[in-house]
């Protein structure tokens, strides 16, 4: 690894600051989202915040977010990023 490829202190601090801003955006958005039986879907957060999906998923899995009182957990199973289909596919009769 050359000196140009190594992360600098400024870039590391910048990455941490960006992650902190994403975390704050997610926490604020969760207060405005619909909650069903104490659960919020990851897709709802993604649509509301526009945080890149991979970053959103990693922040939610880390578990260091402050959840609102009425939220028990976040459903990490996405319907948008996994073919977007719910249930079985109906077969066509020919």
Q: pLDDT > 90: what percent of the chain?
A: 61
pTM score, whole prediction: 0.71
Domain boundaries, the chain: 15-75
Q: What is the pLDDT of residues 32-53, one digit of tens each?
A: 999 999 999 999 999 999 999 9
Residue, of 27 and 89, whose pLDDT is higher: 27
In sequence order, what DSSP letters do the residues of the chain get, joined into one string? --TTTSPPHHHHHHHHHHHHHHHHHHHHHHTTS--BTTEEEHHHHHHHH---HHHHHHHHHHT-S---TT--EEE---SSSSTT--SPPPPPP-
Mean residue pLDDT across the chain? 84
């Amino acid at each position: 690894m050359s000196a140009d490829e190594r992360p600098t202190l400024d870039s590391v601090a910048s990455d941490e600051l960006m992650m902190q801003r994403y975390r704050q955006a997610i926490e604020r958005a969760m207060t405005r989202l619909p909650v069903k039986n104490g659960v919020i879907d990851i897709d709802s957060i993604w649509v509301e915040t526009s945080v890149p999906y991979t970053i959103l998923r990693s922040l939610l899995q880390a578990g260091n977010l402050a959840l609102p009182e009425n939220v028990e957990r976040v459903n990490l199973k996405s319907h948008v990023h996994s073919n977007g289909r719910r249930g079985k596919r109906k077969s066509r009769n020919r």
